[in-house]
Amino acid sequence: MKKSLLLRKNVVPYLFILPLVLFYLSFQLYPMIKEFQMSFFDWTFNPGKENIFVGWENYQHIFQDPKVKLALKNTLLYALITVPGQMILAMLVALLIDALPRGKGVFRVLYYLPVITSWVIASILVRFLFNFPKGIINYLLLDVFSLIDAPINWFGAPGTAFVAIDLLGIWKGIGWSMLIYLSALQGIPKELLEAAEVDGASPWRRFWSVKLPLLTPAISYTLILLTIGAMNVFLSVFLITGGGPQQKTEVFLSYLYHQAFEFFDFGYGAALSVVLAIGLLIVSILQYRFVGKPERLR
């Protein structure tokens, strides 16, 4: 009995996590190491051909490549627009749902639906909605509301193309943050809110001075994860504009993909992804430092 208890304590737990560890080692850690290695080579995809060691050449190339700058700018802009967009709207929705006397579950599901919708389907839908000249958005703006004089060629210029891409990103992300805010809101002790009410605090005051400070860990958590997510934007751009026209809507990952899978320049692609990973790590650490510690979320 004693022996078996020992075994139970020391071995069995590890057996439980073993499958996931194996999965992590083979599908996460190994590719990461391999990629790091590849970034120092002129890597060919053909197993029979030799890969040439080039040292830091791929990394040097990144800093001289004007398109990397453009892609980085586009990615940052996407993050700057969609991350606050998602957070503010998600907060609004969470507050509204939290205030509902009944039917919370239904609305929670409704707002969460876009999150589980496939990026592929949503992106193709956006292509149709923003079609030029006959998409429904052009129709609404032109014929129904008369806000414009001529149909807009949405995907013909980067500015308008990103309107569509950003809207998709925000729409699709609201539900996820909403869910986190909602559970955090429900975790706020009722006494605090009641005390504030008794003291005569207005609803706005109650939100600003009571709820918001208590939501900081949740906000910080979503901020970090949404930023990482936004910097990794790929499928929507890839499917909606393909980086075009003339590569002006290229984001970091679509450009990386382009280098690796269009030009077979796997070494350069790997170097780009290493740089992105390091950049994200730094951004996350800074956010963690200055916005608050997400692990206080309980």
CB of 232: closest distance to another protein in angstroms?
A: 19
Applying the rule CB under 8 A, the residues between 132 and 161 that interact with another protein are: 132-133, 153-156
Cα 276 to Cα 178: distance, rounded to the nearest angstrom? 28
CA distance 111 to 218: 18
Q: How many residues bind another protein (CB under 8 A)?
A: 34
The residues in 38-97 that bind another protein, with binding defined as CB under 8 A, are 44-49
Residues sharing a CB contact under 8 Å with residue 129, sequence separation 6 or more, in sequence order: 135, 136, 137, 164
Measured CA distances, 209 to 5, 96, 113 (Å): 51, 18, 31
Closest listed residue to residue 226, CA positions, set 58, 50, 43, 81? 81
Q: Smallest distance, Å, CB 126 to another protein?
A: 13
CB 97 within 8 A of CB 105: no
| b/e map 69-107, b = 16+ CB within 10 Å | ebbbebbeebbebbbebbbebbbebbbebbeeeeeeeee
Least distance to another protein, CB of residue 185, Å: 39
Residue indicated by tokens 């510690």: 293
Q: What is each CA distance from 253 to 30, 67, 124, in whole angstroms?
A: 20, 12, 19
11 to 30, contacts with another protein by CB under 8 A? 12, 15-16, 18-19, 22-23, 26
The nearer residue to another protein, 36 or 288, going by C-beta atoms, is: 36
Query: Residues 124, 125, 195, 262: which binds another protein (CB under 8 A)?
Result: 262
Instruction: Report the residue number, 114 or 244, with the smaller CB distance to another protein.
Output: 244
Q: Give the Cα-Cα-Cα angle 112, 115, 120 (nearest 5 degrees).
A: 145
Residue type, 262: E
Q: Which of 62, 142, 207, 245: binder of another protein (CB under 8 A)? A: 245
Least distance between another protein and beta carbon 32 (Å): 17
Instruction: Using the minimum distance from each CB to another protein, give the nearer residue, 86 or 138.
Output: 138
Name the segment binding another protein (CB under 8 A); options: 101-109, 180-188, 195-203, 237-245.
Answer: 237-245
Amino acid at 110: L
Strand partners, 282: none
| Residue with Cβ nearer another protein (178 or 260) | 260
Indicate the residue among 131 and 216 with the shorter CB distance to another protein: 131
Query: What residues between 100 and 139 interact with another protein by CB under 8 A?
Result: 132-133
For residue 263, give the amino acid letter.
F
Question: What is the smallest separation between the CB atom of 50 and another protein, expressed in angstroms?
Answer: 10
Sign of the C-alpha dihedral, residues 225, 87, 108, 101?
A: positive
Minimum CB distance to another protein, residue 243 (Å): 10
Name residues contacting another protein, limited to 156-215 (CB under 8 A): 156
Part of the chain binding another protein (CB under 8 A), chosen from 137-145, 207-215, 225-233, 244-252: 244-252
Asked if 4 touches another protein (CB under 8 A), the answer is yes
Name the site residues for another protein (rule: CB under 8 A): 1, 4-5, 7-8, 12, 15-16, 18-19, 22-23, 26, 44-49, 132-133, 153-156, 241, 244-247, 261-264
